[in-house]
Amino acid sequence: MKPLFAKRNRVVAVILVLGCVVLTGALARDSVVLRRKLMESNNSVVAEALNKAVKEKNFAEIEGKCDVILENMDKVLDLFPAGSLSENSRAKPEIWERWKEFSKHPANVRKAAQELAAAARTGDEEAVKVRFKALGRACKSCHESFRAPKPKQGT
């Protein structure tokens, strides 16, 4: 009876260790899914909602959408735990090699969104257009350094 128990304990230990390995992998995949969701939200805000609001000179709407970007930028770094890559992630490994540089980008986007919101508050159409472009550039700046190109269709 006793040796059998010991063996069972070993089996349990192995299962626990394997469980942890699988769980860590799952967490990395979850982060990829969550951050892509967040990026999609960024994109629909900037490329669709904000673009429309700028065209329609809907200044209140612009301010509201800037808040969404600010919230996203507060969360984004948590969604890049060390080494979280998956087969369909476009995140570059350089993110974790140059974390100090990577982690500065959300603050730049934040600042650009705050400046756009401030321009919207004054109702200055020209300033809004300039700030809107600057916001787009701030997003792109992180992508240029840390996002891999899109894989070719079908690969």
The footprint of ligand HEC (CB under 6 A) covers 32, 35-36, 39-40, 42-43, 46, 69, 76, 89-91, 102, 105-106, 109, 139, 142-143, 146-147
What tokens appear for 74 in the block?
Answer: 């507060």
C-alpha closest to that of 128 among 68, 52, 57, 69: 57
C-alpha closest to that of 80 among 39, 21, 137, 45: 39
Report the distance separating Cα 155 and Cα 153, nearest Å: 6
Instruction: Quote the least distance from Cβ 136 to ligand HEC, whole Å.
Output: 7
Instruction: Quote the least distance from Cβ 115 to ligand HEC, whole Å.
Output: 13
Would you say 30 or 124 has its CB closer to ligand HEC? 30
Would you say 43 or 122 has its CB closer to ligand HEC? 43
Q: What are phi and psi of 91, to 5 degrees?
A: -70, 135
Would you say 59 or 95 has its CB closer to ligand HEC? 95
Would you say 9 or 44 has its CB closer to ligand HEC? 44
Contact 96, 146 (CB under 8 A): no
Instruction: Quote the least distance from Cβ 10 to ligand HEC, whole Å.
Output: 38
